[in-house]
Structures are given as structure tokens and as C-alpha cells.
């Protein structure tokens, strides 16, 4: 669901420009793409205690390599050094959302087992 949310944000980025200004226009796509990449890369084969760190590392690696190679050499990309930070922000945002979901899940389990 969150991967789709990131893709949706990437698709509507141009429409959101007037609300977020130059930051959304220049870096919103990077934040959205790296956010989506995190959730796509949460691999079920990785042990659950390592899954968040593994997904974060892979998502950051993929988006940073995309930037460094100017779209992997075959996709359209406009190089902007600020995109490296935007990619890290997107992965950090995804980690925060994932952490909140894990915390909420634990709290719900604790309350249901006590009651």
C-alpha cells in the first residue's frame, strides 16, 4: 500500500508544485521514489529484525546509483546534487512510517493480550 502511495506521489508531483514550491518541483519525485522503493524492497526472505535496515540500505543504494549514473544511463534524469539528500529524506520518511506501524502493532498486541 505504501509503495503505491509513493508511486502516486511521484505521479502527482507536478500538480503539487504550486503548494510546495521549488522544493516539491525539484526534489519531490526523489522523495516519493525512494519512499516507494523502500516498501518495494522490504524482502520477505530477509529475517524480520534485519528487514527494515536491509530495505533502507537497498532503497538508498538504488536511488543514489540512479542519480549518480544519470538514470542508469538509459532513463531520463536531470542531475541535481540535492537529489542525493532528497533520496535520503524519502528513505528516512519510509523508515519512520514503518517504525510507527511496528510500534502501533506492538501496542495493539499488548492491549489485546491484557484484555
Q: How far is CA 87 from CA 9, 14, 44, in A?
A: 14, 18, 23
Q: Which residues contact 40 (CB under 8 A, 6 or more apart)?
A: 3, 59
pLDDT in tens, 22-81: 777 777 788 888 888 888 888 777 777 788 889 999 999 999 998 888 888 777 777 889
The pLDDT, as a whole number, for residue 17 is 60
Per-residue pLDDT, 14: 66
pTM summary value: 0.76
Q: What's residue 100's pLDDT?
A: 93
Task: Evaluate whether 46 touches 20 at the Cβ level (below 8 Å).
Answer: no
Amino acid at each position: 500500500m505504501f509503495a503505491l502511495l509513493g508511486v502516486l506521489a511521484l505521479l502527482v508531483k507536478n500538480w503539487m508544485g504550486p503548494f510546495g514550491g521549488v522544493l516539491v518541483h525539484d526534489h519531490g519525485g526523489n522523495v516519493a521514489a525512494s519512499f516507494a522503493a523502500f516498501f518495494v524492497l522490504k524482502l520477505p526472505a530477509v529475517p524480520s529484525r534485519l528487514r527494515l535496515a536491509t530495505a533502507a540500505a537497498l532503497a538508498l543504494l538504488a536511488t543514489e546509483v540512479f542519480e549518480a549514473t544519470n538514470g542508469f544511463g538509459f532513463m531520463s534524469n536531470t542531475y541535481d546534487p540535492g537529489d542525493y539528500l532528497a533520496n535520503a529524506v524519502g528513505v528516512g520518511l519510509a523508515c519512520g512510517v514503518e517504525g510507527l506501524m511496528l510500534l502501533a502493532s506492538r501496542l495493539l498486541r499488548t492491549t489485546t493480550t491484557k484484555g
